């Protein structure tokens, strides 16, 4: 399909191979919400609006990935489904941990598949399927391809990567996330001599991204999210978390109450932008979660469709090369529309 010149979107159909059927959450097994149709709806809307070319990501090898993730963790993810099916059979359900080494127990990262799952996972909502590793690995290449486009002079690029990444830390997966796409891209840009700042606008705090950069002063992390006193991930994302050691002050959390609407959300963005400016970033990476939408099935904010146009406009006002990386958002009917609204609002400025 021909496009006018516009924002480049990097996308791969390999994400379709990660197709979890169920997750264990809220005390019961229920249908998965992080499903392939999420990215397909966004892709279709980008094509329908002719926002820019849809490009296949390149290959970057393991070096950028291993700048962020522990090598043993990467090996585990690549082997987990095979180990699971060898133990429980090829018709076994998706791999979900059944026990964790909480206080007083020992991690067993070299044990059987059950102990390894429990040692590397932090929830029961993030199953490992037959295609999870390929999809997650390709998601990293998608984010790196978009980052490379910025390095080559693009004003902005969109990594339509799936599964999402911002809950994955250096050696832990959860929250539908396995590899941290935006963290790998930020490190890639940092290694190229740039000074990255990450703005996370997902409803849920990007605990994995924060953990990766928490003791560093060369990558700023700003997150606007639902207060973890009532929202996932529950144990990280509070306002008093500001970084440690060299990273003191390079983390800014802006937790917001239930039912937050655009005026309060926009004020939080302005607060975050002040910190972005003082940090002196020369490139911006946006964890683009769309689960702040008023009709999202698992979240409790009240942003409307038109508010995402405003969000894109506000991000553009920073006048920085900007990499958007797809994260959450689970209202299938509106997800394509609100995602494209952000990109369109950005491009309009």
| CA dist list (Å): 346 to 42, 325, 343 | 16, 14, 5
d(C-alpha 143, C-alpha 325), whole Å: 7
d(C-alpha 64, C-alpha 244), whole Å: 24
The residue assigned the tokens 């980008």 is: 46
Compute the half-sphere exposure of residue 71: CA atoms within 13 Å on the CB side of its CA.
2
Length of the chain: 349
Tokens of 234: 């529950």
Three-state secondary structure readout of 260-283: CCHHHHHHHHHHHHHHHHHHCCCE
Task: Exactly one of 15, 167, 204, 225 is catalytic; name it.
Answer: 167
- Contact, 241 vs 277, CB < 8 A? no
15 is catalytic: no
Helices 332-348 & 305-316 angle (0-180, nearest 10) = 30
Tokens of 51: 């926002």
Helices 132-151 & 181-191 angle (0-180, nearest 10) = 40
Strand order in the sheet with 220-226: 54-55, 8-10, 156-159, 322-326, 283-288, 196-200, 220-226, 251-256
The residue assigned the tokens 């050696």 is: 171
Active site (catalytic) residues: 167
């Amino acid at each position: 399909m021909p496009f006018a010149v516009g924002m480049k979107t990097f996308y791969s159909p390999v994400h379709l191979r990660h197709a979890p059927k169920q997750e264990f959450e809220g005390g019961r097994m229920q249908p998965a919400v992080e499903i392939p149709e999420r990215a397909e709806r966004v892709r279709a809307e980008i094509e329908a609006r002719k926002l820019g070319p849809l490009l296949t990501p390149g290959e970057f090898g393991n070096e950028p990935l291993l700048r962020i993730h522990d090598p043993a963790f990467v090996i585990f993810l690549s082997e987990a489904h095979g180990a699971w099916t060898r133990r429980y059979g090829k018709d076994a359900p998706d791999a979900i941990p059944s026990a964790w080494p909480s206080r007083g127990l020992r991690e067993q990262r070299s044990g059987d598949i059950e102990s390894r799952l429990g040692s590397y996972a932090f929830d029961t909502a993030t199953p490992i399927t037959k295609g999870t590793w390929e999809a997650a690995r390709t998601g990293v290449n998608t984010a790196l391809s978009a980052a490379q486009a910025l390095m080559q002079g693009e004003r902005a690029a969109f990594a339509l990567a799936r599964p999402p990444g911002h809950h994955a830390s250096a050696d832990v997966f959860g929250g539908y996330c396995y590899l941290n796409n935006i963290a790998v891209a930020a490190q890639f840009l940092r290694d190229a001599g740039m000074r990255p700042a990450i703005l996370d606008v997902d409803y849920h705090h990007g605990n994995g991204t924060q953990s990766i950069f928490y003791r560093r002063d060369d990558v700023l992390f700003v997150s606007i999210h639902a207060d973890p006193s009532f929202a996932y991930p529950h144990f990280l994302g509070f306002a008093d978390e500001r970084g440690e050691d060299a990273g003191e002050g390079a983390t800014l959390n802006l937790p917001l109450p239930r039912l937050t609407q655009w005026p309060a959300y926009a004020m939080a963005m302005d607060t975050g932008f002040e910190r972005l400016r003082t940090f002196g970033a020369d490139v911006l990476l946006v964890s683009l979660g769309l689960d702040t939408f008023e009709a999202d099935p698992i979240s409790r904010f009240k942003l409307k469709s038109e508010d995402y146009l405003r969000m894109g406009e506000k991000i553009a006002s920073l006048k920085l090369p900007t990499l958007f990386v797809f994260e959450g958002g689970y209202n299938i009917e509106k997800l394509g529309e609100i995602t494209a609204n952000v990109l369109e609002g950005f491009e309009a400025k």
